Structures are given as C-alpha cells and as structure tokens.
Amino acid sequence: MGRTQVICTASWVEGVDQWRKGSGKGWVTAEYGMLPASTSSRKPRPIAKPDGRGVEIQRIIGRVLRSVVCFKKLQERTIYLDCDVLQADGGTRTAAINGAYVALVLAVKKKMSLGLCPRGVITGAVAGVSVGIVDGKVLLDLDYSEDSGAQVDMNLAMTSKGEFVELQGTAEQKPFAPAELEKMLAVGRTGIRKLIQAQRRAISQHSLHP
Amino acid sequence: MGRTQVICTASWVEGVDQWRKGSGKGWVTAEYGMLPASTSSRKPRPIAKPDGRGVEIQRIIGRVLRSVVCFKKLQERTIYLDCDVLQADGGTRTAAINGAYVALVLAVKKKMSLGLCPRGVITGAVAGVSVGIVDGKVLLDLDYSEDSGAQVDMNLAMTSKGEFVELQGTAEQKPFAPAELEKMLAVGRTGIRKLIQAQRRAISQHSLHP
Amino acid sequence: MGRTQVICTASWVEGVDQWRKGSGKGWVTAEYGMLPASTSSRKPRPIAKPDGRGVEIQRIIGRVLRSVVCFKKLQERTIYLDCDVLQADGGTRTAAINGAYVALVLAVKKKMSLGLCPRGVITGAVAGVSVGIVDGKVLLDLDYSEDSGAQVDMNLAMTSKGEFVELQGTAEQKPFAPAELEKMLAVGRTGIRKLIQAQRRAISQHSLHP
Amino acid sequence: MGRTQVICTASWVEGVDQWRKGSGKGWVTAEYGMLPASTSSRKPRPIAKPDGRGVEIQRIIGRVLRSVVCFKKLQERTIYLDCDVLQADGGTRTAAINGAYVALVLAVKKKMSLGLCPRGVITGAVAGVSVGIVDGKVLLDLDYSEDSGAQVDMNLAMTSKGEFVELQGTAEQKPFAPAELEKMLAVGRTGIRKLIQAQRRAISQHSLHP
Amino acid sequence: MGRTQVICTASWVEGVDQWRKGSGKGWVTAEYGMLPASTSSRKPRPIAKPDGRGVEIQRIIGRVLRSVVCFKKLQERTIYLDCDVLQADGGTRTAAINGAYVALVLAVKKKMSLGLCPRGVITGAVAGVSVGIVDGKVLLDLDYSEDSGAQVDMNLAMTSKGEFVELQGTAEQKPFAPAELEKMLAVGRTGIRKLIQAQRRAISQHSLHP
Amino acid sequence: MGRTQVICTASWVEGVDQWRKGSGKGWVTAEYGMLPASTSSRKPRPIAKPDGRGVEIQRIIGRVLRSVVCFKKLQERTIYLDCDVLQADGGTRTAAINGAYVALVLAVKKKMSLGLCPRGVITGAVAGVSVGIVDGKVLLDLDYSEDSGAQVDMNLAMTSKGEFVELQGTAEQKPFAPAELEKMLAVGRTGIRKLIQAQRRAISQHSLHP
C-alpha cells in the first residue's frame, strides 16, 4: 500500500447499544478517520461538515470485520475498531481492513488469555486488497499515483479460502467488461493470499503481555 | 422493486462549486433521503445525527450517474439528482439509480429543446439492479422480505452493452464463491436489459412541455 | 391549494417522551419538510442549517391537531404527523393541516378496528385554509402567484362549528383594518366548511385494510 | 408584562446578506434568546438542539418590525434586533416586540443625528400585546400564572391607528367563537394605545449621546 | 472592570450527570456567554460554530469555583453557574468569577435557610482579577483599551489568604521575565483583597427572601 | 512525558482567513485532537459534541507558537499546527507545544531552502513543560498517575532565555502559596532548558529533503 500508514486499534467495551440490548449478542463497529496532514493538501477535521467518503469507508470496514465474528460467543460486548490514517498513499481502506483484522484478533486473544472471552469468537481470516486497471493493465494494490489514473478501481475483501466477503468496483473512466472483472478478481486473489500470511505473522509475533 | 416508491428529480443549476470553478466542466451530485414514514417503523429525520447508510447510498448513486455524463459538454453547471423514498420495500438504491437516470435524461432533453444545452451531454444508458442469494438460490430484484433473509446482497449498475459501472456485493451470512458471483452477474445482466428498456419507454413517453 | 402536493402520514408509536412519562397521557407531534425539488429553485436539505420557516410551520400544525385529541384516552402513545411537501404552489401549511387531520383520523380508526384504542380519542373536526387580500380584494386559498403579491396573508384553523383553533395573520405590505379582518374571517369560514366536507369524504372512502 | 425583563438591542451593520445584494435595499432581522436562568427551572442553552419555540418567536418579531421600515431608504444595511430574556414571567414575545421597536428607532435616530441615514426609514409605530381568556374572562397582558391557565392565548401587533400588523391566536383548551375574538381584539386595542405612549416616552427620554 | 456588566446566576438542580451518579458527591459547572450586542461590533450567537474563547473561559470559571466547594457535603446535586456578558469592556472572565462566587454563596445560603443543605458546602472565598503590563507599567484590572495594548495579560484567582487557585498569564507581545511576574502577582494580590471585601458586602446586603 | 506520543505536523497554506486578508500578515493556528484509543477507556470522536478540554488546549498551543513567529515576514500565509495524540500518559499539551515548535521550524526551514520564505519568520525558541506538587513535593514533567494525584498542576511555556510565554497553574486540591509557586517555576526552568536542547537536536538531525 505504498507509503500509506494507518493506526488500527480494537477497544473492548462491556455492553452494547440500546437496539442490541437483551439479545445476548455483541457487535463490532468501525470508525475511519484521516489526520489533517495525512494528505498532500491539508484536509480539515470533519467537525462542521461530516466527511461522506469517510462514512462510506467505515461502513465497509465494519461489514467486512463483522463477517468473521460470532456475536453469540462475543456476548453483549462492543468492539470498536478505530482506523486512523497517518499518511495516505492509496489503499487506505484496504490497509484499514487488514490492520483492523489484526487488532481485532489480538484483542480477542488477550481477553481469552485472561479467561474473559470464550473460544470461537473469531470465525475466520479476512483481508482486503485493491485492484485496478491502469493504462489497460490490471494492477494489484494501487498507490496514490496509480489510483488517480485508474480506469477501474476495485476493492476486494476475501477469506483465506478465496471466497468473497465484500466486492466493490467502480468504473472511473469507462465501463469495464466481464472479462476484465475476471482478470481483476484473479489478480486480487493472489494478493489476498499474501496479505493473510502477513496478518498471521503480525499476530503470531505480537506479545500479548507488554 | 416490490412496493418501493422513490421520487427522483433533476435540478439544473447554473454554476459549480468552488473546487470546480474555472475548469469549464460541470458536475452531477446525488442526494438520497427517506421520508420518516417510508419504513415500517418510523425513521427519524437525519437532523441531529447524519444517516450513514444514506450517505453511502448517495455516493454510489452519484458515481453511477456521473459515469454517463460528459462534463465538458455540460459546461459549468451542476445537476442535482434528488432521490427521496416515499415507500421502502427493498431495492431503494437501485430504484433511485434507475429513476435518477430518467430524470437526468429528461432534464437534459428539456434544456436541449430550449437551445440551452449542446448535444452529447449524456453519453450512454445505465441501470441498476439488485441480485441476491436466498435459501441457496439466486434471485433478481429482492424485495424487503427477501433482502432481509439474503445470504448475499449484490447491487449492480451496468450499461446497455452489459459492461459494469458499479458492482457492490456483501456477504451477509457467509462468504460466497466465485461460481456464485458468476451466477449472480448473469442473472443481473438480464435484469439490467429489461430495466434499460423500461427507462427508454419512460423517457420517450414523457412530454417535455407540460 | 393550486398544484400543491403534500404527503401526510400518521405514525403510531407506543410510549411518550421523557417529560410526559408517567402522566398516563399521550402526545401528538408534527414535522414539516419540503423535498429539495418541491420549489421552483432547488431548496437545500436542512442539514447544516435548520429551516426557520419549517420550524414555525410544524409548531402550528402540531398545535392545531393537538386541539382535537383527547390525550387521556390516547394513553401513553405518541402520534407523529409527518407532512412532506412534494410540490409547493401556495398553501402548503394549510394543506398539511388538512391532510394531517385525515391521516390522524385514519390511524386512530385503524387502531380502534383492531381493538387497540378506545373511542373518543378524536374530539372534533378541524381544517385549515388561507385567506388574503390581493389588489384590495379578499381571496380564499391563495396559490403561489397570489400569495407572493398579497397585502395580507392569513391562515385559519377552524372547527366544523365555525370556532377558531388557530388564527395567524400578517400584514405583508401595509397594516389591515378590523373591517378587513372581518371580511377575511367570513370568507375563510366558507372555505373551512367545504374542506371539512372534503376531509369527511376522504376518510369515509378510505379502506382501512389494504 | 409582570416581572418579565428583556434586553433589546439594535445593531447597525453595513451591507446585506447574499440574497439581498445589489437590490439597493436593507433588511431587518430579529433574534430571540432566553438566558438559562430566566425561567423557573433552568433552560439549557440551545447549542446541541435548536429551540423551536424561540425560532417561531424570532420570526414573528422580525416580521412585525420589518412592517415599519422603508428598506429603500435604509439602503444596503442590516439592522439586527437582539431580544434576550433575562427574566420570563409571561409576555416575553410582546415585550420583545415593544423593546425592539424602541431600540430600532433609537438606532435610526442616532445614525440620522450623525448624518449617516436619511429621514423616513421608520414609517410608523407598532406595539405588541397579549390578550387571553382565563376562567371565561378576557384579560390583557397575561403574566406567567395567567398564561399557563389561559383557554385562549392571543398576541397582537398593531399600529398607532389601530390596524393589525400581526395577529396570532391559539385555542389552548377549547376553540373560541367569533364573539370572543372580537372582545379580545377590543381589549387588545386599548393595551396597544398605552404601549405606544410608553414607547414614545422611552424614545424621547433617551439621550442619544452618552 | 470598566463598564463591563455580567449577569451571574446559580441554579440548584437535584441530581448529577451520569459519570457522577452513585458517588454521593455533587458538582459545580459554569457556562459563559456573550450577548450579541455586548461587544462593539456585533458578535453572532454561537449556534453553527462554537465559540472557542468562551469554552476556554467557562472551563476556567468552573475550575475556580469548584475549588471552594465541598462536593461531599453538597451531595448529589449540580449547581450551574451561568455568566452572561451584557456589556464587555475588559475583564469579563474575572468579573464572571467574582459574580459567580456571590451567586453561588447566595444560592447555598438560601438552601441552608430552608434546611435543604448542610453547613460547610462553601469552604472559602475566592476572587479573580486581571493584571497586565501596558507601556512597561504593571496595571491592575485592565479595561478594554488597556487590554488591547497590553504586553502581558494575566488573570489570577486567589483566596482571601493570598493563595493561588488559578493563575494564567500570556505574553501578548514579548515574553516576560520572572521579576515582572513577581510585580504582577503583588499588584494582583492587593486587588484580590478589595474584591473579596466587595463580595462580602454584596453577600451580606442581599436579602434571601424577596 | 512518560509514554505519551503526539504527532505534530505543520501545514503551510497560501492565504489567510477573511478577517486577516489585506493585512499583509500571516497567521499560525493550532488544532489538538486525541485518537479514540489514545486513552485507557475509549474516548469518542468529538463529532456530535465538541471536546471542551481539547478546545482549551489548542488555544494555548496556538498562543504559545504565535509568540515566536513574525507575521509580517510570514506574509499572507497560514501555518496549521496539528497535534494529534496517539497515546496519552500525562503532559500531552506540553508535548504538543514542543513537537509543534519542531514541526513549525522544519516547515519554515524547508520553505526557506526552496527560496519561498524570507529569513526571520521564527523569532525565538519556546518549549513547554508541566510541573506539579504531588504529596507535597515539586515534580517536573508529570506522567498520568502523578498528574491524577497532583495537588497543583502547572504548565509553563518559556523561551530559551528563561522568560515566560504562557503560564497556567491550577490548584487541584487546595490553593498554593507564593513560595510553592516559586519552587515550581525554578524546577520548570531547568526542564525547559533541557527541552530546548532536545528540540535543537531534533531540528538539526532532520533532513529536509526526503
């Protein structure tokens, strides 16, 4: 993801929102933000006016991460996944998904090691990657300059078994054909595999008791 | 789209936003709202707290409709596409795309008939449809009860030539395989074809001078 | 009311707001909105900046409709009356009052037919009409072009017995004399009578079980 | 107005809002607020949530005061009339109208004395008073305890000639008949006369050069 | 404090905020506002955009007044100290502190006289004063014109024993030396003594039963 | 500052705000934020409700940094200093001041090296440090656990010559005497000296052309 840097944290909070109370089930919610100096021209903080792009992205991150959590086992707790972009160079939303997954797993493992959470809360592995068509060629993991000139911009979230969790593609300059879609999905799949390995390394190398 | 009803309007406004001024190019922007009584339990107006789902949807509608507009020919004008849901029964976002396209074309045609807009502003036809997997079967155009129980929920926006403009799929219950994706895309394609015909009828039957 | 179109809905919600809890009494509240394309030049949605005119109007609608409801019989329930203008051509506030009354009565009747609401919640009939002085003449039910040029603009809400529920008059260009007020009230009274008949027809023709 | 206290100020600002620019005409706008401790139980400041009642009142104040100003003579200037309630004991809106009129006239006189404003900006005198029916009797100028128990609550703004500028009546408990309206208007008229005299005294006693 | 006028009120409210519930302890919170016409050029109300300066000031007022209250004896009650500037001529924040102290003591005394509050809630006296360096000289209690040209602007809150509660100094034009600080503190101390006497007079002269 | 981590950035933007236009002078403004997971219990983002503490802090940071900038030499440009707390362990406001100074100097140096900014924009060195009294002892640079239990909490911003730029002290538990103030200032002075050296090292070690 080029020089993109995103801090991803998981905060474990006892209890759930009003609409979920009494269900016996937990919830996972994501928030996405960008520091003002993370972009090349300063981006004002979203105080007066909410940031539509950020809202769209955090909804996607939340959906993807919820797909690998068993809410019944989590019980009535909320896990907040905060993804804050320190430096943006393309791929911030997929970087956020990948980092949030690692943060989520580490948080659950830590609670398990303290006997505060049963087995089976995390039901699988998921990673996200961008694919695009630039100058007619399918590229994996676009950085900012590639992204800006892409004809098609696609974001994939997939499991370790190559199945889709979320799939979102936009024709930036002209519509794309089914054959192009297929090429992008194939390229994306190889990226996902590497990312899931990288997540596993990050998780296993992390010491839970600092 | 079941009993869904969405009012779609196009408002033609001279001038563009600050960031676009001096470019010689126009812009198309979409807004999506739901009347409080459009849903089975009343939905409060998004005054105190913005509606994240609505923000995500209006960004998709805007992207799709911008893909069939030549901004250079539009010149420095803004077309607002307002999509307001009167009654929601599944498929409101694709209904909004389809209606907004009709409104957009009629607005441009009206301006052309008055000599206020050159040819070629609209560069193609686009329609949107939902596809899903319910009880293991691929269904086209899900209504509310089907949508609630869907394992996969996918929204497609495609051109009359069967090419993709926007593609967005979410695994609601479990990840879906590439073969399932392919089936959904094939089913979606047939739906798009019918919708583009329906749009054409709506456009041709509409008298521009009431 | 010219070409004015307002969707009026009544939403029946169990429970009341904090300040009313434990009183054993219900409440009726109205909200008034305009779709962006309901006016000849597009009206932005009231997100950043609340719409003062809309706030004033919804307060009047609420007061008028509360005057024909027995809160003790309604018990601790809230009825939301949403009035959303699809097309504005003068008289939107009185159109909203008239439509909201019909929606309110139908909602109560439906609940009664299901055995969920006692008799006597609705205590009377009320309708609203505008009167004005245009070019020195008293006019009933002003449309937009008449309204814009009116010297006096008056809105009346009256019962079927010709008594006042709400009375609001504004001198737009010059103050008006008591004799002019009397003429306007007389003209208004005839309008109210016809509107109450129209409301009765709308209520009796409506089938409660669709 | 009982123990009600309202600070009314007029601020003279060169220039007008965007929508009025280039018209050669001025504008008068009113704002109404209540200090938190002005009411018997503390009223939170309207920061998170706008105060609907206050919005309705300030719109009425603005309309009434605009009716006695010649905008053409005022030229492109804005006069802000701020009415802030220090202590509320009924009649705050009519107290605000009366005080705002005095502030407005003093501001214009001061500018005239400095040669910065032509003659004829103020075109007449206007005052506001409340009338109500309490226990079946028509009362002038209700204080808080009378207002709370009123069957009808009416606010009048009238000129020195006994003509109406704004008229707003609400049936709080049961509708009121035309004969009751007439009685209230007659009683209100006598109040207006005294208030206009009081305003004149306040204006003439005020020294413009402190 | 020159021609500065600030209304300070104390509102006694049973109960405390969520975070304080069950602690058995009370809280004191301050709010600071300026009427739009309190400054020489009109200051818009802080509705759309919060007033950063006001937020900073109200936090200081709250901290200072909390330093002389025993929350345990106050029990689970909240005292709101509202400080609203009617006219600003320098020193509004210290005027607010001084007036809020008087209001606080009177409120507690009134409750004590009604047997609704134990002894010992107020634990001491505190006053606030500004000191500054203008044209190289140390001045006590700066008015607006002095404040605008000050090289150093300092606000002190001290007890009757000459001890510090809050101390806040800002170099407006150039940094100040320790010796200058000492001079300012000495001058401030004499001011505090007089202000505490003035507060005592105001408290003793006030009749609690109007 | 314990385990506190704050990202400080300087963004150089051509032009100034409306109120400063045409003055020929620049401006420096600071914003302070905390990531949700920077505190031990998650802190919600300040969207619905602004963060009063953060507003107070960013105003102090801005004042301190403006004291070392020559606005005339900066010309009509705005430098935004964004200070975002990644991890909070006491002293975040002084950490922000120290980091913001380094960011400011580096930004100006970079512009100078490109010939886009004259000499003399930065007029001096400034650093911030906290001092407090804990268990009767004066401590320099309090971490979170020390800060929580402090009797007095003081923040100093001083120049390399030991002069004061900003001085802000609060009695958390009981008022403090002049002798205690003096001790704290002396201890603070030694801290400032070390911090200014650390800032110099950070500035000189930074390569401007990455």
Using alpha carbons only, give the angle F160, F161, F162 rounded to the nearest 5 degrees: 95
Q: Give me the mean pLDDT over the C80-106 stretch.
A: 96
Judge whether D51 is closer than 8 Å to chain E, CB to CB.
Answer: no
Greater confidence (B42 vs F172) lies with: B42
Q: What is the pLDDT of residue B110?
A: 96
Quick check: A64 and A166 in contact, CB under 8 A? yes
Q: D40: which 2 tokens? A: 């018997």
pLDDT grade for C149, boundaries at 50, 70 and 90: confident
What's the CA gap between B129 and B140, in Å, rounded?
Answer: 8
Averaging pLDDT over each range in A38-52, A80-94, E43-57, which range is the top one? Answer: A80-94
Helix axes E178-205, F178-205, angle to 10 degrees: 130
Cβ-contact F122, F143 below 8 angstroms? no
Q: In the predicted model, is pLDDT for residue A210 greater than 80?
A: no
Nearest residue in chain F measured CA to CA from E58 = F52
C-alpha dist (Å) from residue F137 to C35, F130, F154: 66, 14, 13
Rounded CA-CA distance F189/A51 in Å is 43
Q: How confident is the model at residue C209 (pLDDT cuts 50, 70, 90)?
A: low
Of D11, D42, D84, the CB nearest to E13: D42
Residue E209 has pLDDT above 90, yes or no: no
From residue D142, alpha-carbon distances to D3, D129, E1 in Å are 11, 9, 39
- Which chain F residue's Cα is nearest to A48? F47
Q: What is the ipTM of this complex?
A: 0.91
If DSSP codes are grouped into helix, strand and coil, which group holds residue E86? strand
What's the mean pLDDT in C49-57?
88
Q: Return the amino acid letter for D133.
A: I
Q: Which residue in A50, A82, A86 is closest to F37 by CB distance?
A: A82
* Average pLDDT score over residue span C164-193: 94
Task: Single out the residue of F44, F34, F29, F47 nearest to residue F7, CA to CA.
Answer: F34
Buried b (16+ CB within 10 A) or exposed e, F171-204: bbeebbeeebbebbbebbbebbeebbeebeebbe
Nearest to B200 by CA among B107, B141, B135, B127: B127
pLDDT (tens digit per residue) in E28-76 = 999 999 999 999 999 999 876 778 999 999 999 999 999 999 999 999 9
Radius of gyration, CA atoms only, chain A: 18
Name the residue type at position B11: S
What is the pairing mode between strands C164-171 and A27-34? unpaired
pLDDT at F209: 57
SS3 per residue for F32-77: EEECHHHCCCCCCCCCCCCCHHHHHHHHHHHHHHHCCECHHHHCCE
Q: Which two tokens stand for residue E104?
A: 């606080």
**Side chain identity at F107, as an amino acid letter?**
A
Three-state SS for chain A is CCCCEEEEEEEEEECCCHHHCCCCCCEEEEEEEECHHHCCCCCCCCCCCCCHHHHHHHHHHHHHHHCCECHHHHCCEEEEEEEEEEECCCCHHHHHHHHHHHHHHHHHHHHHHCCCCCCCCECCCEEEEEEEEECCEEEECCCHHHHHCCCEEEEEEEECCCCEEEEEEEECCCCECHHHHHHHHHHHHHHHHHHHHHHHHHHHHCCCCC
Question: Tens digits of per-residue pLDDT, F74-129?
Answer: 999 999 999 999 999 989 999 999 999 999 999 999 999 999 999 999 999 999 99
Furthest-apart CA atoms within chain F: distance in Å: 54
pLDDT at A46 (0 to 100) = 87
What's the N-to-C CA distance of chain F in angstroms? 28
pLDDT-derived band at F10, boundaries 50, 70, 90: very high
- Sorting pLDDT into bands at 50, 70 and 90, what band is E208? low
Which residues does chain F have within 8 Å of residue A33's beta carbon, measured at their own beta carbons?
45
| Percent over 90 (pLDDT), chain E | 85
Chains that touch F (3 or more CB pairs under 8 A): A, E
Q: Quick check: pTM over 0.95?
A: no
Query: What's residue B143's pLDDT?
Result: 85
Substitution target from F19, F55, F196 for chain E, most E beta carbons within 10 A = F55
Per residue of chain D (210 residues), what is the pLDDT tens digit?
889 999 999 999 999 999 999 999 999 999 999 999 999 999 999 876 778 999 999 999 999 999 999 999 999 999 999 999 999 998 999 999 999 999 999 999 999 999 999 999 999 999 999 999 999 999 999 888 888 889 999 999 999 888 999 999 999 888 999 999 999 999 999 999 999 999 999 999 987 655
- Cβ contacts (< 8 Å) between E185 and chain F: which residues? 178, 181
What is the average pLDDT across C185-198? 95
Whether C43 has its CB under 8 Å from any CB of chain D: the answer is no
Confidence at residue F44, expressed as pLDDT on a 0 to 100 scale:
92
Q: Measuring CA to CA, which residue among D102, D105, D96 is closest to residue D123?
A: D105
Contacts of D91 (CB under 8 A, 6+ apart): D1, D2, D4, D129, D130, D141, D142, D143, D147
Cα separations in angstroms, D43 against C20, D40, E74, F184: 17, 9, 22, 42
Interface test with D, best of E41, E45, E79, E83 (most D CBs within 10 A): E45
pLDDT band at C210 (very low <50, low <70, confident <90, very high): low
Neighbours of B180 (CB within 10 A): 20
pLDDT of residue A208: 65
pLDDT tens, D95-106? Answer: 999 999 999 999
Kindly report, residue by residue over F147-181, the tens digit of the pLDDT: 888 999 999 999 988 899 999 999 988 899 999 99
pLDDT surpassing 80 at residue B207: no
pLDDT (tens digit per residue) in A12-36: 999 999 999 999 999 999 999 999 9
Contact C50 B50 (CB under 8 A): no
Instruction: Choose among A56, A171, A185: nearest Cβ to B178.
Output: A185
- Which among C41, C139, C150 is positioned nearest to C88, based on CA atoms? C41
Cα–Cα distances (Å) from B205 to B10, B128, B199, D72, D168, in that order, read 17, 21, 10, 49, 48
> Between chains, do A181 and B164 touch, taking CB under 8 Å as contact?
yes
The overall average pLDDT reported for chain A is: 93
